[in-house]
């Protein structure tokens, strides 16, 4: 029987696994083990031995059933002028993944990756250029949080799965990671502060809905014109807008979600004209949604970053949708840390020409 890594085990199943292994007082032992692994961020058997006061017999039983030890190799850290930090980690496969820590007043938001590379191929995103290398395990995902908390001495308050990869393409591992991040016995991240973003994998959205997952689900929409969305996001050819938005409506209704957040990368000359505003009004009728406008961040691609004047004009025209409209300023964008810029590069910063270097504020329609 292959031994599972302790960090990969969902905390809800840990007591049962310990009981099956013959560990006495399995419920109490599971709580202590969860705290060590997911709260204190212990990385190896020596740390577990100290944190749990393991006897030789109990340690032998655990070692027979589970693997444990570091799964990420720290490679590089870059800090932006605004305090945002990007961490690069090597996987055992030789692939590189990145995580970004964003400081905003008392909040510490960690943008986590779920895959090395990405299979979605979105044309505005640097990660999509890599193709899919492999899925990350739940343990690799949560180890990034443990390492960053240990390095900074700061508790992560929010987690967003908006880093490298399509989270719902690695569904089981991401759901297990969310559960372990939210574990009440292990310095939890509140469930309303865990966000899973998707480019529109309809079967996975339906599964997320059927399982009544408590995490926030955000949809990367980027256009309500089917032909344009297909050019931006090849996945749209497989799951066209009527099918996608139908799944989103069922999610909102069945999971009693008051507001669904739709992410919209703003691309001048592509999706910021009146025709696109009209398409949003038409296609999103009946949804209760927040439109999160993300000015495109330079990745060296064929697009152009909008000016703030263009963004403000666009958000002004969005007022006729009668929905909350927010503009997201991507922290660390000048240093390759913004939305869509993660590409496993660890030395030189990405191109910065055309960036809006300072946001004038948040526009709300």
Q: CB under 8 Å, gap of 24 or more: what pairs does 182-186 form?
A: 183/11, 183/34, 183/38, 183/39, 185/11, 185/31, 185/34, 185/35, 185/39, 186/11, 186/34, 186/35, 186/37, 186/38, 186/39
Q: What is the pLDDT of residue 23?
A: 87
98 is catalytic: yes
Q: What is the pLDDT of residue 361?
A: 36
Burial class of residue 146 (count of CB atoms within 10 Å of its CB; 0-12, 13-18, 19+): buried
Does the pTM exceed 0.75? yes
Question: pLDDT tens-digit profile of 211-221?
Answer: 999 999 999 99
Q: What is the pLDDT of residue 2?
A: 78
Q: What is the pLDDT of residue 345?
A: 60
Question: pLDDT tens-digit profile of 194-251?
Answer: 999 999 999 999 999 999 999 999 999 999 999 999 999 999 999 999 999 999 999 9
- As beta bridge partners, residue 265 has 294
Q: What is the pLDDT of residue 364?
A: 31
**Which H helix or E strand runs over 19?**
helix 11-20
Catalytic residue among 111, 178, 183, 339: 339
178 is catalytic: no
3-state secondary structure of 91: coil
Task: Specify the CATH superfamily of domain 73-335.
Answer: Aldolase class I (3.20.20.70)
Calpha distance 317→313 (Å, rounded): 6
Catalytic residue among 98, 166, 179, 283: 98
Which candidate, 272, 251, 271, 269, places its Cα nearest to that of 260?
251
Q: CB under 8 Å, gap of 24 or more: what pairs does 308-313 form?
A: 308/356, 308/359, 308/360, 310/266, 310/268, 310/272, 311/266, 311/356, 311/363, 312/360, 312/363
Phi, psi of 103 (to 5 degrees): -100, 125
Q: What is the pLDDT of residue 136?
A: 97
Question: pLDDT tens-digit profile of 21-57?
Answer: 888 889 998 999 999 999 899 999 998 888 887 778 8
């Amino acid at each position: 029987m292959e031994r599972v890594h302790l960090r990969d085990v969902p905390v809800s199943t840990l007591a049962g696994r310990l009981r099956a292994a013959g560990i006495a007082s399995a419920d109490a032992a599971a709580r202590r083990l969860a705290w060590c692994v997911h709260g204190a961020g212990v990385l190896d058997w020596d740390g577990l031995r100290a944190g749990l006061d393991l006897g030789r017999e109990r340690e032998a039983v655990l070692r027979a059933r589970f693997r444990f030890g570091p799964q990420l190799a720290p490679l590089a850290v870059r800090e932006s002028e605004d305090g945002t930090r990007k961490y690069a980690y090597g996987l055992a496969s030789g692939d590189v993944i990145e995580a970004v820590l964003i400081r905003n007043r008392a909040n510490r938001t960690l943008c986590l990756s779920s895959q090395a590379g990405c299979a979605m191929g979105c044309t505005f995103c640097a990660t999509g250029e890599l193709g899919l290398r492999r899925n990350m395990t739940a343990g690799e995902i949560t180890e990034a949080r443990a390492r960053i908390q240990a390095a900074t001495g700061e508790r992560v308050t929010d987690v967003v799965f908006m880093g490298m990869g399509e989270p719902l393409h690695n569904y089981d591992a991401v759901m297990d990671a969310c559960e372990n991040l939210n574990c009440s016995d292990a310095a939890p991240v509140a469930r309303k502060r865990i966000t899973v973003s998707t480019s529109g994998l309809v079967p996975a959205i339906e599964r997320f809905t059927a399982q009544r997952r408590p995490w926030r689900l955000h949809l990367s929409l980027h256009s309500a014109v089917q032909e344009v969305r297909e050019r931006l996001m090849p996945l749209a050819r497989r799951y066209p807008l009527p099918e996608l938005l139908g799944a989103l409506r069922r999610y909102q209704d069945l999971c009693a979600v008051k507001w669904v957040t739709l992410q919209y990368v703003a691309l001048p000359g592509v999706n910021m004209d009146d025709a696109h505003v009209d398409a949003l009004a038409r296609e999103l009728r009946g949804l209760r949604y927040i439109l999160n406008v993300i000015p495109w961040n330079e990745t060296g691609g064929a697009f152009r970053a909008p000016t703030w004047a263009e963004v403000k004009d666009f958000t002004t025209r969005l007022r006729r949708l009668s929905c909350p409209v927010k503009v997201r300023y991507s922290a660390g964008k000048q240093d390759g840390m913004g939305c869509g810029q993660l590409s496993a590069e660890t030395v030189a910063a990405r191109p910065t020409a055309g960036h809006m270097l300072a946001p004038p504020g948040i526009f709300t329609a």
